[in-house]
Amino acid sequence: MHSLKVVYADVENPDSRHRKIGSPRRTTFINIDETSANVSTINEMVNEAFGFSDLVIVMASCMPYEESEGTRGLTFWKVNSRKVFAVNKIHLLCDDETQVRQNSGTNERNNEMMAILLEVKEELDNSKIVMAEMKNKLDNSSIVTAESSPPMIIGISEVRLGETVFLNVLFACHWLFLQL
């Protein structure tokens, strides 16, 4: 059994990102044990103790405690330096709605960037196919001269000029890599 101190307080700057705990209004102690030491149960007990139905327990930074494996059990709640405040849920929702409005533009930009990335991915996938076709053509009909430094691909009638230039650059990079 542990007695958890909870302070009911106002929120300063509830409509901004820089909100913080304001003036304390009341304090209570909630008795919790291993089974009741979780965020949802503590929220219910705090609302009952203060006589409200819309309170949420938060940290000193006004961030709400989230239900998770880490917040279950007495070990988490018995830390003496942990401050638990209860604030009206409406003060947290105002900022969330503002955040959603601000993020809507970001989502549009993200969607545009995703479309561009998908186009690039498609082009790379197409390039892989072209490279595989060029490799087959080279394997079947190319003449490679080893006298030049770096070696060059010559005499390929099946490969277009642009592909030949690209392949020469690729081949030269591979040759340089082998020289290291």
pLDDT in tens, 120-136: 677 767 776 777 776 66
Has this prediction a pTM greater than 0.85? Answer: no
Query: Cα separation of 2 and 77, whole Å?
Result: 8
Mapped onto helix, strand or coil, the DSSP state of residue 96 is helix
How far apart are the C-alpha atoms of 34 and 164, rounded to whole Å? 72
pLDDT digit string, tens, across residues 78-103: 998 999 999 998 877 654 444 444 45
Domains by residue range for the chain, with CATH: 2-93 (3.10.20.90), 142-180 (no CATH)
In sequence order, what E strands does 51-157 have?
55-58, 84-88, 143-145, 152-154
Q: Assess whether pLDDT exceeds 70 at residue 180.
A: no
Whole-angstrom Cα distance, residue 94 to residue 99? Answer: 9
Contact 57, 42 (CB under 8 A): yes
